[in-house]
Each structure stands twice: as structure tokens, then as C-alpha cells.
């Protein structure tokens, strides 16, 4: 059966998600075997050898929350959040990136979502632009992992533990709006978020619907958590996942008044389920 037809049949059986006027916009990806594996990255291997913390959070590095409004631009906005958090970790400064430019440049017309692969290809050639300085951040290459197993979830945790945020696209749980979702009911709302932490039972994320979303504490507006069991495991028949890792190298840039050649790794992971019960995850290294 054609994968798109199969997805459509599954989506038709799922309840609608009420986004309360905010945009979604994630686009499912086809699986490929032609990418290198996340497990072979030296930083991941080093972290796994040292052991993973039982819990880890990057929320202290979130200085602002992106707001895509009604645009179906979650792929661009969650990618911008991922990069902003990474730069905050590396350089102690928050760079607000032009997510809407990224969305428009990759086929977004205000009505449709954009493909994460297309966005990554554009990031290779053009890069996400810092609004204040006009500096563009370009990416390099990709790798894959399979998070439908416990080993795959462990690899994602290892990336977070190395202080690398990630983006995750998934069919949303029905109670997504409460912040700490139970994950008991899956809907047909396909949305991409930025993962910023984990515990043994749940992953933490920052959304791109502004600070009105999620856990309503002063520090955590815009954040939430979802059980790991909602995105992984083999208990749901027919799940097939894809994970893409993005490794990037920044171009020479002016920062803090100095010209610097800055090399960094960015990992983007996408998970895709043939029955649309799976999801995409993108990890920044």
C-alpha cells in the first residue's frame, strides 16, 4: 500500500486536535537507509560510556520562546528554537533567528507546512539568519538512528545529556495543552517541537506558541513534558521510525566584534511512523 494512502486512512480514524488558532505544519518523511548512524558519533559514544544522568534539562538556557502564531511553520520555528538554545549554551547569548524567512524560503505560503528535509537542504546552502546581526548559520551532514527501541531513546537522551537540544515532530496527544501531557490519546495534529530535557519517564520540550502554552510558572511558560512511551516502544503494531542527525559547521562569522571560525556539531533527528502513530525527532549537536 502507498505510504501516503496508509497514513491518510490512519489519520481519518484519529480525533481532531484543537490548536486554539495556533499553527502546526510538520510534514511526514520517508525512511532512508543512506544516512550515517548517530550511534557512531564520538560525542554520543563518550557520553554513553560515561553513563547517562537519570534526568537532564536545558531549560535554564531558554531565554525566549518563539511564537509561530497561526502560521503552519512549526518546522522552521522549532529549528530556530533549537539553534538559539545551542548558541546560548555555547556563547552565553540568545540569538533570535528568522524562522519565518526560513519557512517562506522553503515553500511556506501561510497555508501549508514545509518538509524538514527541504529545510535542512536550505540550511546547508543558505542557513538560518540571526535577526540582529544578519549572520547565517549553515549545516553540514546527516546521520540516523532508530528510536522505536529502548536503545534509540537512549541515544536521544545521550544527545540531550551532551547539552544538545533537539526537535521532535509527532502526532500530538489530546491533552497537549496542559503542558504535562498524559499521552493517553493520540490525535491527527502533526506538530514539531524542540526537546530540551528528560527524566526516565518523560521528555521536556519548548513549544513555538509563545509563553501562553504549557506549564504556567514564571520560568517555564512555553514548556511542557510528554511520556517517552508516547513516542517510542514496540507496543504499538506497525510503527516504523526514522531518525535524522544533522551535523553542522558554522561559516566564518563576526561575533562579539571578532572574526571567528567556529565549528560546531548540530544533530537533527526525525522519527516517522508509517501509521502516523510515530513521530520525527531532530537533535542538535
285 within some domain: no
DSSP structural state of residue 56: E
Model pLDDT for residues 4-16, shown as the tens digit of each residue: 677 777 778 889 9
Q: What local confidence, expressed as pLDDT, does residue 96 receive?
A: 96
Asked if residue 284 is part of any domain, the answer here is no
Structural contact between residues 95 and 132, judged by C-beta atoms closer than 8 angstroms: yes
Tell me the sheet residues that pair with 168: 193, 281
pLDDT of residue 66: 98
As a whole number of angstroms, the distance between CA 181 and CA 29 comes to: 25
Q: Which three three-digit cell numbers place residue 6?
A: 496508509
Spatial neighbors of 60 by CB under 8 A, at least 6 apart, are none
CATH number of residue 48's parent domain: 3.90.70.10
Residue 147 clears pLDDT 50, i.e. is over it: yes
- Residue 224, SS3 per DSSP: strand
- The Cα 114–Cα 184 span in angstroms is 28
**Domain containing residue 178:** 3-279
Geometric angle at alpha carbon 156, from 154 and 162, rounded to 5°: 100
Integer Cα distance of 132 and 235 in angstroms: 47
Looking at residue 271, what is its pLDDT? 42
Confidence of residue 27 (pLDDT cuts 50, 70, 90): confident
Pairing status of strand 56-57 against strand 186-198? antiparallel
Q: What's the total number of domains in the chain?
A: 1
Amino acid at each position: 500500500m502507498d505510504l501516503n494512502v496508509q497514513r491518510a486512512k490512519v489519520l481519518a480514524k484519529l480525533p481532531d486536535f484543537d490548536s486554539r488558532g495556533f499553527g502546526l505544519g510538520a510534514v511526514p518523511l520517508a525512511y532512508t537507509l543512506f544516512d550515517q548512524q548517530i550511534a557512531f558519533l564520538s560525542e554520543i559514544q563518550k557520553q554513553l560510556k560515561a553513563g547517562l544522568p537519570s534526568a537532564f534539562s536545558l531549560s535554564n538556557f531558554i531565554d525566549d520562546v518563539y511564537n509561530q502564531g497561526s502560521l503552519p511553520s512549526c518546522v522552521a520555528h522549532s529549528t530556530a528554537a533549537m539553534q538559539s538554545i545551542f548558541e546560548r549554551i555555547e556563547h552565553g547569548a540568545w540569538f533570535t533567528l528568522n524562522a519565518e524567512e526560513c519557512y517562506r524560503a522553503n515553500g511556506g505560503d501561510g497555508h501549508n507546512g514545509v518538509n524538514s528535509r527541504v529545510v535542512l537542504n536550505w540550511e546547508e546552502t543558505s542557513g538560518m539568519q540571526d535577526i540582529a546581526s544578519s549572520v547565517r548559520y549553515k549545516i553540514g551532514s546527516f546521520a540516523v538512528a532508530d528510536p522505536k527501541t529502548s536503545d534509540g531513546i537512549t541515544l536521544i537522551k545521550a544527545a540531550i545529556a551532551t547539552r544538545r537540544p533537539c526537535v521532535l515532530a509527532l502526532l500530538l496527544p489530546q491533552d497537549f495543552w496542559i503542558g504535562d501531557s498524559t499521552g493517553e490519546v493520540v490525535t491527527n495534529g502533526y506538530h514539531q517541537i524542540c526537546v530540551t530535557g528528560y527524566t526516565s519517564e518523560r521528555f521536556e520540550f519548548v513549544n513555538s506558541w509563545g509563553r501562553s502554552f504549557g506549564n504556567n510558572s514564571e520560568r517555564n511558560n512555553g514548556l511542557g513534558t510528554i511520556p517517552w512511551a508516547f513516542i517510542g516502544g514496540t507496543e504499538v503494531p506497525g510503527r516504523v521510525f526514522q531518525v535524522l542527525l544533522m551535523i553542522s559547521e558554522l561559516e566564518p562569522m563576526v561575533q562579539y566584534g571578532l572574526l571567528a571560525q567556529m565549528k560546531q556539531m548540530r544533530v537533527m533527528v526525525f522519527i516517522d511512523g508509517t501509521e502516523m502513530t510515530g513521530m520525527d525527532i531532530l537533535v542538535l549537536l
